[in-house]
Amino acid sequence: MTASATPDETQDGQPEPGLRADAERNRDRILAAARRLYAAEGIGVSMAAVAREAGVGKATLSRRFATREDLITAVFADRMDAYAAAVTEALADPDPWRGFAGYIQAVCAMQAADRGFADVLTMTFPASKALEARRTAAYNGFLELIDHAQAAGHLRDDFTSQDLVILLMANAGVIAATGDAAPETWRRLVGHMLRSYAAPGAALPPLPEGPSPSALYRAMVRLARTGADAS
């Protein structure tokens, strides 16, 4: 058991079988509240805000999740499993380039669906061994995916795994900036980036339509207001 685990929880944050029913309900409420807040606002949400959203006291939250990383690990464990599974599915595609492009689109879609997960994919949590193990498994699979797509001659030879990190950072920024004003903008970014990764002769997926001028303007106004509120 890690130093941050509570006596009635296992190392991966799951409740022990003997956990009291009321404590288990509190844990479920905390996780549900954290998922809602993280998805809408990102993982910068404070623990106090999570406790308020869950309708529990700070002490109750601390008993279930002693640290912010403990809570993040529990909230995003299933999403990190899906992240690792996406690369396994891509590697199973008999067309390496199609598998590569599909993986890029799938991971960026995961980011778009959950702002918190968009944050998690561009950060590391050294104290969370479970979360980082899933990330490492996905990364190693992605390295293999790169090798296959380059060997097939459809992925540029100068593409590296760092380019995915750059894309995820850029995609997270677009998602945060456009919000509900132009929520599909990220698809256009990903479409352009896949074209930049493709070697000559690779089959290019259709380029998604960009946001309308009015939607992009609303996103720019929203971003300006967000910046003003933060200052």
Q: Do 203 and 95 belong to one domain? A: yes
Residue 166: partners with Cβ closer than 8 Å, 6 or more residues away: none
Say which CATH number the domain at 143 has. Answer: 1.10.357
pTM: 0.78
Counting every residue, how long is the chain? 231
Does any domain span residue 179? no
Does any domain span residue 182? no
Compute the average pLDDT of residues 41-61. 92
pLDDT above 90 (res 228): no
Q: Do 129 and 107 belong to one domain? A: yes
H-type alpha helices, the chain: 21-41, 47-54, 58-64, 68-91, 96-113, 115-120, 129-151, 161-178, 185-197, 213-230
pLDDT above 60 (res 157): yes
Q: Do 82 and 149 belong to one domain? A: yes
Q: Decide which of 197 and 39 is more confident.
A: 197
Give per-residue pLDDT as tens, 198-222.
999 999 989 999 999 999 999 999 8
CB 185, CB 219: distance < 8 Å: yes
Backbone angles phi, psi at 9, to 5 degrees: -130, 150
DSSP state at residue 205: P
Q: Do 23 and 5 belong to one domain? A: yes
Domain that holds residue 41: 1-66
In a 13 Å sphere around the CA of 121, the CA atoms on its Cβ side amount to: 33
Of the pLDDT bands very low, low, confident and very high (cuts 50, 70, 90), residue 16 is low
Does any domain span residue 216? no
pLDDT at position 146, please? 97
Say which CATH number the domain at 42 has. Answer: 1.10.10
Of the pLDDT bands very low, low, confident and very high (cuts 50, 70, 90), residue 186 is very high
Does any domain span residue 93? yes
Does any domain span residue 204? yes
Q: Do 22 and 110 belong to one domain? A: no
Q: What is the count of structural domains for the chain? A: 2
Which of 66, 86, 120 terminates a domain? The answer is: 66
What's the whole-number average pLDDT of the chain? 87
pLDDT at position 42, please? 86
Compute the average pLDDT of residues 149-170. 95
Does any domain span residue 221? no
